[in-house]
C-alpha cells in the first residue's frame, strides 16, 4: 500500500513545478508551486482523486475567502552530493491550521502539524513563524504538500531558507521590532511615573492604551504566540479582535479633556460604571462569537468609532481653531493601521506581514504623539493653575494696599483729607480719561487689521450678522464680494514676504478707494483674501464694483526696489435678500464658491454665484 502511495506521489510530482537547491543555497523568496482547493481530509484521499492542480510561478498566493482547504504542492531537487537541511516558511503567522506532508524516495511520508490553533510545544520547531523542517538527501528530490485551513482570507506566501540564513534574517527583524517594542514600553513606564507624581487620570488611561497596542503588535507579528500565551489556544485565536476593540474604546476617556463641543461633551459624561459595563459586555460578546464574525465585528466597530472621532476633532480643529491637530494625527495613524490589518483580512494585500511593518510604525508614532499631547496638556493645566494663584496673590496684595491706604487716610486731619480727596478726584478723572483713550485704542486694534489698516475678520463677522438681520428686516438686497490675489504664493516665494505684504496693502488701498458709500466696507478676510459688504446693493451694482476693482488692480504695477510686479485678482459675487438671519455664513460660502469658479476658469475675472 505504501509503495502504491509513493508511486502516486512520484507521478504527481512529475506534473508539478520544481525548484533546485545547490550546495551554495542560502534562501529563495519566490518558489514555484501548484495549488488546488479540495476538501480531502488527508494526502491519501487527495492523491486518489483526479486533482486540477494550478501552477503558480512564484510564492505570492492570495485566494481570499476559501470554502475548501487549500492544498499546495512543491517539489525540491537537491543538486549537491551531500544532505541539505532546509526550512520552508509559510509567511502568515495567523493561519489557523497547516498540515505538511513530506515525501521522498527512500523514507516514509513525514506529517507535521502547524498553525496557531495548536500549542507552541506541538510545532515541529518552537518558533512564532510557520516553519517546516526539510531534510533533502544528496542528489534526491522531495515533494511537499501543504494543507491549509483558515477562517478568513487565505494568504500563504512561501519562502525557502537555509537554517543559518533564516536565523540571520529573523535576528535582524527581531532587533528592529525589539527596539520599537522597547520604546513603546518605555513610554508606558514614563506615563506611569508621570501619573504617580501628578495623579492625572489621563496618564493612567495612556498607560492602558499604550500597553494594549503593544500587546496587539506582538500578537500581530507572532511574538505573543512564542513568549506570552503559546499554549493558550483560545487567547491566540481571539486576542486580535479583543485587542483591536480595546485599543479603540480605551481612547474615549483619554480624549475627554480635549472635547470642546458641548453637545458632544455631554456624550462623554457617561458614568464610569456604565462605560465599563458596556465595554465588558462587548468583549464577552466578541469572545463567544465565531472567530470570523468576532474579527469582522471588532474591526467594523473600531473603524466606525475612530472615523467618527477623526471627523469630530478635525471639525473642532478647523472650526474652533482648537489645539487638537495631534489627536487628528493619532486617529489618522490608527485608521491607517486598521486599514492595513483589514486589507490582510480581506485579502486586498498579500505577502509576508513581517516585511510590511506598517502597523508597528503607526502604533509607535501614535504613542509618541499621544505622549507629547498629554505632557503638553499637563503643562497647560499647570500654567493655568499658576496664573490663577498669581491672580489671587495680586488680588490679596491689592486689598492689603487698599487697607493701608485707608489707615493712612484716617490718620490725617480733616483738612488734609479734603485736599487729598480733591487731589485723588482729579487724578481719578485723569485716569478715567486715559482708560477711555486706551479702551478706544484697544477697540480699534481689535477691529482693525494691523497690516492694511482696514477692518479685520473678527469685525467682519459682527458686521455680516448685523447686515443680514437688516436685510431680513427691511427686505433689502445684501451683496457680498470675495476677492483673492492671484498667484500670491509665487510673489512671496520670488520676492519675499515683505514684498507680499506690500502687495496686500496696495490691493487693500485700491479696493478701499472704490467704496462709494459710508455703509460699504472692505475687510481683510485672511492672508491675501478680502471681502466687501455692500448693503442695499443689487447684483449688477456689486458686479460692476468688483469688475472696476479687478481692472484697476490689473492696470496697477507694484514697484519694488529691483522689480515691478503686475498683479491680478479674482472675485466671487453673491447677492440676495436674507432669509435666515441665523445663517449669515451662507453669503460667504456661496461667494467663496463663485470665487473658486473664477480661480478654476483661469483667474483674473469676476464670477457670480449661480445656484
Residues with a known catalytic role:
528
How far apart are alpha carbons 352 and 583 in whole angstroms?
Answer: 54
Cell of 399: 486689598
How far apart are alpha carbons 529 and 483 in whole angstroms?
Answer: 6
**Contact by Cβ (8 Å): 456, 448:** yes
How far apart are alpha carbons 108 and 246 in whole angstroms?
Answer: 48
**Contact by Cβ (8 Å): 245, 294:** no
- Partners of 153 in beta bridges: 65
Closest by CA position to 207, among listed 189, 220, 224, 182: 189
**Contact by Cβ (8 Å): 595, 571:** yes
- Cα pseudo-dihedral 36, 37, 40, 44, rounded to 10: 10
**What residues contact residue 259 under an 8 Å CB cut-off, 6+ apart?**
265, 268, 312, 316
Distances 488 to 6, 255, 493, 497, 558 between C-alpha atoms, Å: 79, 39, 9, 10, 13
Handedness of CA 541, 545, 546, 548 (dihedral sign): positive
Closest by CA position to 52, among listed 73, 30, 74: 73
| Alpha carbons within 13 A on the beta-carbon side of 486 | 22
Crossing angle of helices 497-513/488-495, nearest 10°? 140
User: What is the H or E stretch that residue 135 is in?
Assistant: strand 130-136
Amino acid at each position: 500500500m505504501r509503495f502504491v502511495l509513493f508511486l502516486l506521489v512520484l507521478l504527481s510530482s512529475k506534473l508539478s513545478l520544481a525548484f533546485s537547491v545547490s550546495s551554495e543555497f542560502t534562501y529563495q523568496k519566490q518558489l514555484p508551486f501548484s495549488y488546488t482547493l479540495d476538501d480531502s481530509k488527508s494526502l491519501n484521499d487527495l492523491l486518489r482523486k483526479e486533482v486540477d492542480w494550478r501552477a503558480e510561478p512564484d510564492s505570492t498566493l492570495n485566494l481570499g475567502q476559501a470554502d475548501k482547504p487549500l492544498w499546495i504542492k512543491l517539489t525540491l531537487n537537491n543538486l549537491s552530493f551531500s544532505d541539505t537541511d532546509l526550512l520552508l516558511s509559510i509567511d502568515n503567522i495567523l493561519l489557523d491550521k497547516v498540515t505538511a506532508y513530506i515525501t521522498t524516495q527512500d523514507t516514509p511520508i513525514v506529517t507535521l502539524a502547524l498553525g496557531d490553533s495548536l500549542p507552541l510545544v506541538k510545532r515541529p520547531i518552537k518558533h512564532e513563524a510557520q516553519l517546516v523542517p526539510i531534510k533533502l538527501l544528496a542528489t534526491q528530490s522531495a515533494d511537499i504538500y501543504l494543507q491549509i485551513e483558515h477562517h478568513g482570507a487565505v494568504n500563504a506566501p512561501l519562502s525557502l531558507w537555509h537554517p543559518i540564513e533564516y536565523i540571520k534574517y529573523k535576528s535582524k527583524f527581531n532587533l528592529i521590532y525589539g527596539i520599537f517594542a522597547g520604546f513603546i514600553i518605555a513610554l508606558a513606564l514614563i506615563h506611569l511615573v508621570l501619573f504617580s507624581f501628578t495623579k492625572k487620570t489621563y496618564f493612567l488611561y495612556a498607560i492602558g492604551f499604550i500597553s494594549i497596542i503593544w500587546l496587539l503588535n506582538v500578537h500581530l507579528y507572532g511574538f505573543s504566540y512564542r513568549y506570552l500565551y503559546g499554549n493558550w489556544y483560545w487567547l491566540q485565536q481571539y486576542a486580535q479582535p479583543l485587542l483591536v476593540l480595546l485599543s479603540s474604546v480605551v481612547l474615549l476617556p483619554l480624549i475627554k479633556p480635549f472635547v470642546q463641543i458641548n453637545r458632544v461633551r455631554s456624550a462623554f459624561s457617561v458614568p464610569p460604571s456604565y462605560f465599563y459595563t458596556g465595554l465588558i459586555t462587548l468583549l464577552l460578546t466578541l469572545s463567544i462569537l465565531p472567530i470570523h464574525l468576532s474579527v469582522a465585528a471588532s474591526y467594523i466597530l473600531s473603524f466606525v468609532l475612530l472615523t467618527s472621532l477623526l471627523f469630530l476633532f478635525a471639525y473642532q480643529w478647523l472650526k474652533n481653531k482648537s489645539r487638537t491637530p495631534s489627536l487628528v494625527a493619532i486617529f489618522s495613524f490608527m485608521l491607517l493601521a486598521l486599514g492595513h490589518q483589514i486589507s490582510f483580512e480581506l485579502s486586498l494585500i498579500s505577502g509576508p506581514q513581517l516585511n510590511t511593518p506598517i502597523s508597528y510604525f503607526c502604533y509607535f508614532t501614535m504613542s509618541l504623539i499621544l505622549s507629547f499631547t498629554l505632557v503638553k496638556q499637563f503643562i497647560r493645566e499647570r500654567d493655568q493653575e499658576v496664573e490663577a494663584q498669581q491672580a489671587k496673590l495680586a488680588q490679596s496684595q491689592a486689598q492689603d494696599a487698599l487697607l493701608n491706604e485707608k489707615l493712612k487716610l484716617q490718620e490725617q486731619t480733616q483738612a488734609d483729607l479734603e485736599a487729598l480727596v480733591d487731589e485723588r478726584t482729579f487724578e481719578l478723572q485723569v485716569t478715567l480719561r486715559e482708560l477711555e483713550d486706551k479702551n478706544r485704542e484697544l477697540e480699534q486694534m481689535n477691529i482693525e487689521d494691523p497690516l492694511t489698516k482696514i477692518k479685520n475678520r473678527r469685525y467682519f463677522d459682527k458686521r455680516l450678522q448685523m447686515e443680514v438681520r437688516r436685510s431680513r428686516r427691511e427686505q433689502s438686497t445684501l451683496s457680498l464680494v470675495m476677492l483673492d490675489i492671484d498667484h500670491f504664493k509665487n510673489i512671496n516665494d520670488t520676492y519675499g514676504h515683505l514684498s507680499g505684504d506690500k502687495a496686500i496693502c496696495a490691493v487693500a488701498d485700491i479696493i478701499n478707494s472704490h467704496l462709494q458709500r459710508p455703509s460699504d466696507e472692505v475687510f481683510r478676510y485672511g492672508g491675501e483674501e478680502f471681502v466687501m459688504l455692500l448693503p442695499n446693493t443689487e447684483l449688477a451694482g456689486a458686479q460692476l464694483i468688483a469688475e472696476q476693482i479687478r481692472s484697476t488692480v490689473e492696470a496697477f504695477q507694484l514697484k519694488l526696489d529691483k522689480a515691478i510686479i503686475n498683479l491680478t485678482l479674482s472675485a466671487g459675487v453673491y447677492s440676495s435678500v436674507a432669509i435666515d438671519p441665523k445663517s449669515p455664513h451662507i453669503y460667504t460660502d456661496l461667494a467663496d464658491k463663485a470665487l473658486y469658479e473664477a480661480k478654476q476658469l483661469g483667474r483674473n475675472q469676476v464670477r457670480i454665484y449661480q445656484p
